[in-house]
Amino acid sequence: MTDITIEENTVASVHYTGTLPDSGEVFDSSEGRDPLTFLVGHKQMIPGFEEEMMGAKVGERREFTLTSDRAYGGRDDDAVLQIPRDNFAQLEGETPLEVGMQLVAQMPHGPSPFTVTELTDDTVTADFNHALAGQSLTFSVEVVELRAASEEELAHGHAHGPGGHHH
Protein backbone atom coordinates (compact mmCIF):
# COMPACT_ATOMS: atom_id res chain seq x y z
CA MET A 1 0.00 0.00 0.00
CA THR A 2 2.80 2.39 0.85
CA ASP A 3 3.96 2.66 -2.76
CA ILE A 4 0.66 4.28 -3.80
CA THR A 5 0.80 7.98 -4.52
CA ILE A 6 -2.02 10.41 -5.22
CA GLU A 7 -3.08 10.02 -8.82
CA GLU A 8 -6.27 9.71 -10.80
CA ASN A 9 -8.68 7.08 -9.43
CA THR A 10 -7.04 6.75 -6.03
CA VAL A 11 -9.06 7.44 -2.90
CA ALA A 12 -7.16 9.88 -0.71
CA SER A 13 -7.79 10.70 2.94
CA VAL A 14 -6.15 13.92 4.10
CA HIS A 15 -6.08 16.24 7.05
CA TYR A 16 -6.07 19.84 5.93
CA THR A 17 -6.26 23.41 7.13
CA GLY A 18 -7.31 26.17 4.76
CA THR A 19 -6.33 29.75 5.53
CA LEU A 20 -6.75 33.10 3.79
CA PRO A 21 -3.18 34.16 2.94
CA ASP A 22 -3.82 37.87 3.59
CA SER A 23 -5.35 37.62 7.05
CA GLY A 24 -4.26 34.15 8.16
CA GLU A 25 -7.90 33.42 9.03
CA VAL A 26 -8.77 29.70 9.00
CA PHE A 27 -11.81 29.20 6.77
CA ASP A 28 -11.95 25.43 7.01
CA SER A 29 -10.07 22.63 8.73
CA SER A 30 -10.41 18.91 9.34
CA GLU A 31 -8.73 19.30 12.73
CA GLY A 32 -10.72 17.45 15.38
CA ARG A 33 -12.74 15.67 12.68
CA ASP A 34 -12.30 12.63 10.50
CA PRO A 35 -9.94 13.21 7.60
CA LEU A 36 -11.45 14.35 4.33
CA THR A 37 -11.76 11.44 1.88
CA PHE A 38 -12.16 12.01 -1.85
CA LEU A 39 -11.86 10.21 -5.17
CA VAL A 40 -9.06 11.85 -7.15
CA GLY A 41 -9.82 13.03 -10.68
CA HIS A 42 -13.64 13.19 -10.38
CA LYS A 43 -14.19 16.86 -9.60
CA GLN A 44 -14.90 16.24 -5.92
CA MET A 45 -12.29 18.86 -5.04
CA ILE A 46 -11.40 22.29 -6.39
CA PRO A 47 -8.99 21.75 -9.31
CA GLY A 48 -5.83 23.30 -7.83
CA PHE A 49 -6.04 21.22 -4.67
CA GLU A 50 -5.71 17.92 -6.54
CA GLU A 51 -3.05 19.30 -8.92
CA GLU A 52 -0.87 20.34 -5.98
CA MET A 53 -1.28 16.98 -4.23
CA MET A 54 -0.50 14.76 -7.22
CA GLY A 55 2.29 12.26 -6.48
CA ALA A 56 2.12 12.71 -2.68
CA LYS A 57 2.62 9.63 -0.46
CA VAL A 58 1.08 8.67 2.87
CA GLY A 59 2.60 10.79 5.63
CA GLU A 60 3.66 13.53 3.21
CA ARG A 61 2.76 17.14 4.04
CA ARG A 62 2.35 19.86 1.46
CA GLU A 63 1.52 23.52 1.72
CA PHE A 64 0.45 25.62 -1.24
CA THR A 65 -1.48 28.75 -2.16
CA LEU A 66 -4.06 28.70 -4.94
CA THR A 67 -5.15 31.82 -6.76
CA SER A 68 -8.94 32.09 -7.15
CA ASP A 69 -8.89 30.75 -10.73
CA ARG A 70 -7.60 27.43 -9.33
CA ALA A 71 -9.94 27.52 -6.32
CA TYR A 72 -13.54 28.78 -6.37
CA GLY A 73 -13.20 31.09 -9.38
CA GLY A 74 -13.61 34.83 -9.66
CA ARG A 75 -16.53 36.80 -8.33
CA ASP A 76 -19.38 37.28 -10.82
CA ASP A 77 -21.30 40.54 -10.45
CA ASP A 78 -24.19 38.98 -12.38
CA ALA A 79 -24.59 36.50 -9.53
CA VAL A 80 -25.71 39.31 -7.22
CA LEU A 81 -29.50 39.66 -7.51
CA GLN A 82 -32.08 42.04 -6.12
CA ILE A 83 -35.10 40.06 -4.93
CA PRO A 84 -38.39 41.67 -3.80
CA ARG A 85 -38.58 41.38 -0.04
CA ASP A 86 -42.20 40.20 -0.37
CA ASN A 87 -40.80 36.88 -1.62
CA PHE A 88 -39.38 36.30 1.86
CA ALA A 89 -42.64 37.05 3.72
CA GLN A 90 -43.21 33.42 4.69
CA LEU A 91 -39.63 32.99 5.95
CA GLU A 92 -39.70 36.28 7.83
CA GLY A 93 -42.75 35.02 9.70
CA GLU A 94 -40.36 32.59 11.42
CA THR A 95 -36.85 34.01 11.05
CA PRO A 96 -36.02 37.71 10.74
CA LEU A 97 -33.72 38.45 7.80
CA GLU A 98 -30.26 39.76 8.61
CA VAL A 99 -27.30 40.88 6.54
CA GLY A 100 -24.75 38.06 6.38
CA MET A 101 -27.41 35.36 6.63
CA GLN A 102 -26.91 32.32 4.39
CA LEU A 103 -30.03 30.93 2.74
CA VAL A 104 -30.83 28.46 -0.02
CA ALA A 105 -33.00 29.35 -3.01
CA GLN A 106 -34.87 26.66 -4.93
CA MET A 107 -33.80 27.36 -8.51
CA PRO A 108 -34.79 25.48 -11.69
CA HIS A 109 -31.40 23.69 -11.74
CA GLY A 110 -31.51 22.82 -8.02
CA PRO A 111 -30.85 24.38 -4.63
CA SER A 112 -28.55 27.43 -4.75
CA PRO A 113 -27.01 28.87 -1.59
CA PHE A 114 -26.67 32.64 -1.30
CA THR A 115 -25.70 35.27 1.25
CA VAL A 116 -27.88 38.26 2.13
CA THR A 117 -25.58 41.24 1.59
CA GLU A 118 -28.02 44.14 1.82
CA LEU A 119 -31.56 44.71 3.10
CA THR A 120 -34.03 47.48 2.48
CA ASP A 121 -37.76 47.59 3.25
CA ASP A 122 -38.48 46.48 -0.32
CA THR A 123 -35.46 44.56 -1.54
CA VAL A 124 -33.14 41.76 -0.49
CA THR A 125 -29.70 41.72 -2.15
CA ALA A 126 -28.70 38.10 -2.62
CA ASP A 127 -25.11 37.18 -3.49
CA PHE A 128 -24.96 33.77 -5.15
CA ASN A 129 -21.16 33.82 -5.46
CA HIS A 130 -19.36 31.16 -3.41
CA ALA A 131 -18.20 32.73 -0.15
CA LEU A 132 -14.60 32.04 -1.21
CA ALA A 133 -14.93 33.24 -4.82
CA GLY A 134 -12.28 35.76 -5.81
CA GLN A 135 -10.01 34.70 -2.91
CA SER A 136 -6.58 33.13 -2.90
CA LEU A 137 -6.50 30.17 -0.53
CA THR A 138 -3.59 28.54 1.32
CA PHE A 139 -3.85 24.87 2.22
CA SER A 140 -1.69 22.83 4.55
CA VAL A 141 -2.35 19.16 3.81
CA GLU A 142 -1.17 15.86 5.27
CA VAL A 143 -1.89 12.58 3.49
CA VAL A 144 -3.33 10.08 5.99
CA GLU A 145 -4.37 7.18 3.80
CA LEU A 146 -4.36 6.16 0.14
CA ARG A 147 -5.94 3.25 -1.65
CA ALA A 148 -7.11 2.30 -5.13
CA ALA A 149 -10.78 3.12 -5.79
CA SER A 150 -13.31 0.28 -5.94
CA GLU A 151 -15.29 -0.40 -9.12
CA GLU A 152 -18.35 0.97 -7.37
CA GLU A 153 -16.62 4.21 -6.40
CA LEU A 154 -15.42 4.73 -9.98
CA ALA A 155 -18.96 4.11 -11.27
CA HIS A 156 -20.42 6.58 -8.78
CA GLY A 157 -17.69 9.20 -9.21
CA HIS A 158 -17.15 9.65 -5.46
CA ALA A 159 -15.38 8.00 -2.52
CA HIS A 160 -17.19 5.68 -0.15
CA GLY A 161 -16.31 4.72 3.44
CA PRO A 162 -13.32 2.65 4.58
CA GLY A 163 -12.61 -0.18 2.14
CA GLY A 164 -14.88 1.32 -0.52
CA HIS A 165 -18.19 0.33 1.10
CA HIS A 166 -21.16 2.55 0.61
CA HIS A 167 -21.93 4.99 3.39
Which residues here bind Zn ion, judged by CB under 5 A? 156
CA dihedral 148, 14, 36, 51 (to 10 degrees): -80
Q: Which is nearer to Zn ion, 33 or 167 (CB)?
A: 167
Q: Which is nearer to Zn ion, 42 or 156 (CB)?
A: 156
Determine the residue with CB nearest Zn ion.
Answer: 156
Q: Which is nearer to Zn ion, 62 or 156 (CB)?
A: 156
- How many angstroms from the chain centroid is the CA of residue 99? 22
What SS3 class is residue 118? strand
Contact 142, 12 (CB under 8 A): no
Taking the complex as a whole, the smallest distance from the CB of residue 79 to Zn ion amounts, in Å, to 30
Q: Which is nearer to Zn ion, 6 or 11 (CB)?
A: 11
Taking the complex as a whole, the smallest distance from the CB of residue 119 to Zn ion amounts, in Å, to 40
H helix intervals, the chain = 47-53, 89-92, 151-156
Taking the complex as a whole, the smallest distance from the CB of residue 155 to Zn ion amounts, in Å, to 8
Contact 48, 76 (CB under 8 A): no
Taking the complex as a whole, the smallest distance from the CB of residue 107 to Zn ion amounts, in Å, to 25
